[in-house]
Amino acid sequence: MIDLKRLENDYDNLSAELKRKNVDLALLESIKEKVYEAKRLRRELEDRQAAQNRLSKDFGVRKANGEGTAELGAELIENKGAIAALSELLRVSESELEMDALNLPNPPDFDVPNGVDESENVEIKRVLEPRKFDFEPKAHYDLGVDLGWLDFERAAKISASRFTVMRSFAAKLERALIAYMIDFNESRGFKEHWLPVLVSRKSLTATAQLPKFVADLYLADTGELPENDLFLTPTAEVPLVNLYFDEILRGEELPLKLTAHTLCFRKEAGSAGRDTRGMMRQHQFDKVELVAIAKPEESDRLFDEMVACASDLLTSLELPHRHLALCAGDLGFSAAKTIDLEVWIPSENRYREISSISNTRDFQTRRAKIRYKDGKHNHLAHALNGSSLAVGRAMIAIIENFQQKDGAIALPKALAPYIKM
């Protein structure tokens, strides 16, 4: 969540920043008006409460002196009713303000390139050269089906489209990649976690998947009240950040560097017709995540470290990839800055996203109330997240980049200790 004080004290700069992220400034203006309305109601309520205290004292003095209190008593009753009415108005006003504010995205950092959509993202560099094939490379789904490793028809029979049954080599490769990614991240100082994949409405709100992206989430029907709803996690970012929900950490504990593998679940509500063949865009997928909780002065260094970790992981798997700086219009809702890593997919003759590393600054930590104590004062921490990596997409890249003319699949040398055929 953004700092609402900026609406009062720095509105022009804030509106200019959010405009770069394609935000409708009518929403921002509406929230600003609600901030002032809540402030007015709170001031009026405090005045009424102060008046009630004075009236109560006067009432007590008059009663003790045997003076008439009827008129003063009536005024007390009237003022008490006004206090109750104002309290309810303020509660409703602040509730509406909070709900509206939850729909405002994080402003982009000043050095994020301008741009409206993904067509204006900026390539930073390329790592490794794509392989030159002396035959026509096949797509992963053709190779996988031909060799009996991938079964989309039976997956659809069990569940629906955009699910996959993996067997034999594909199943072993998925398991090997997860283990290798976790070990690699641990070698870079990220501590492994095993997490629940059911997460609460509160947790999803803290990391900003709710209320904005409810259409992409799978709700587990627990028969509980809505506030007790549980959802299938869309990314390990959600449980990892929420490990520290409403906590005050010791400054010397930071930075916290965390990694985890989870199954992830997304409805992909906005992707109808896109990547319908194969494993590129699934409702259920494995992902290994990086998360850091840091002091503000450390977060830029941690961001660079996380980008390097994910990129070096791809390099160790001998996969050509490139770094993209996302423009303001293509940034995710909670991100202040994002670097995407895109891996080379031979069958498509192009790069495809396999990792996004984002610095959310204090946007998520403000919602999650994650603070740290530095001396006598508490400060909001910064939260960062990044996929390292999307496992299914790494498998796609390996199958396609390491395919042989006879249909066999070679393997990156780094995976040799992790997979036995």
Specify the pLDDT at position 271: 66
Active-site residue flag, 347: no
The pLDDT confidence band at residue 395, using thresholds 50, 70 and 90, is very high
**What integer pLDDT is reported at residue 272 of this predicted model?**
65
Please say if 266 is a catalytic residue.
yes
Q: What fold is seen in the domain 5-101?
A: Helix Hairpins (1.10.287)
Q: Residue 360 — pLDDT band, cuts 50, 70, 90? A: very high
pLDDT per position as a tens digit, 247-305: 999 999 999 999 999 999 999 866 666 777 899 999 999 999 999 999 999 999 999 99
Q: How far apart are CA 17 and CA 329, in angstroms?
A: 11
Catalytic member of 20, 266, 366, 367: 266
User: Which residue out of 37, 75, 268, 353 is catalytically annotated?
Assistant: 353
Higher pLDDT, 243 or 272: 243
pLDDT at 67 over 90: no
| pLDDT at position 270 | 65
Catalytic residue, candidates 6, 281, 322, 352: 281
Percent of the chain predicted with pLDDT > 70: 99
For the question of residue 54 being annotated catalytic, the response is no
Could you report the per-residue pLDDT of 112-169, keeping only the tens digit for each?
999 999 999 999 999 999 999 999 999 999 999 998 999 999 999 999 999 999 999 9
User: What is the band of 421 on the pLDDT scale with cuts at 50, 70, 90?
Assistant: low
What are the domain boundaries of the chain?
A: 5-101, 118-418
Quick check: is 62 catalytic?
Answer: no
Assess whether 393 carries a catalytic annotation: yes
What class is the 118-418 domain? Answer: alpha beta
pLDDT of residue 210: 95
- Name the active-site residue from 366, 367, 371, 393: 393
State yes or no: pLDDT of 338 exceeds 80. Answer: yes
pLDDT one-digit tens code per residue, 187-242: 999 999 999 999 999 999 999 999 999 999 999 977 777 888 999 999 999 999 99
* Residues sharing a CB contact under 8 Å with residue 135, sequence separation 6 or more, in sequence order: 405
Residue from 356, 358, 387, 388 carrying the catalytic annotation: 356
